[in-house]
Amino acid sequence: MKTCIVPGSFDPFTLGHLDVVKRAAGLFDKVYVAIMINSQKTGKFDFAQRKRIAELSCAGLENVEVITADGLLVDLCRALGASAVVKGVRDAQDCTYEINMARMNGFIDESFETVLLPAKPELSFLSSTFVRELMKYEKPLDGALHPVAVAYISVI
């Protein structure tokens, strides 16, 4: 069985993230969406809220499981038996960053593989930062987040 991890801070989980997860679910037998700590970012949502938003967004994807994790991604891959990490890239800057991360992870574990999926053009502007900015100015989140996630965020 081929297993992958789609890691990120997902603060919050956007339609762009969902597209990457759906595409990974078509390539792998099992997909873990791993909500992880990024020490370089400060979050708006706590871990439990981020997990719930991702779970609501991924509902119905039978081979997808949302988890939370800390520590090194390489160690999580080993623990879950994942053969690859899947990351979405929106532009050249994302690509450069993710290639460097893949090289660092490969330095720790030579068997570490990273699959980069380019964002669909219509989703390439979406980021969690953009969504948080919309929220700051009380703008609608439709088209940026799954409708069920929008409903959940409106009550928390």
Return the CATH number at 147: 3.40.50.620
Estimate the crossing angle of helix 147-155 against helix 47-58, to 10 degrees: 150
Which pLDDT value is given to residue 30?
98
User: What average pLDDT score do residues 43-59 get?
Assistant: 96
**Residues designated catalytic:** 17, 41, 90, 128
| pLDDT of 153 strictly over 80 | yes
- What is the band of 59 on the pLDDT scale with cuts at 50, 70, 90? very high
Number of H helices and E strands in the chain, helices first, is 6, 5
Give which of 17, 4, 7 is closest to 149, Cα–Cα.
17
| pLDDT tens-digit series, residues 86-122 | 999 999 999 999 999 999 999 999 998 999 999 999 9
Closest CA to 2 of 82, 76, 77, 67: 82
How many structural domains are present in the chain?
1
Task: Show the domain range for 87.
Answer: 3-155
Tell me the percentage of the chain whose pLDDT exceeds 70: 100
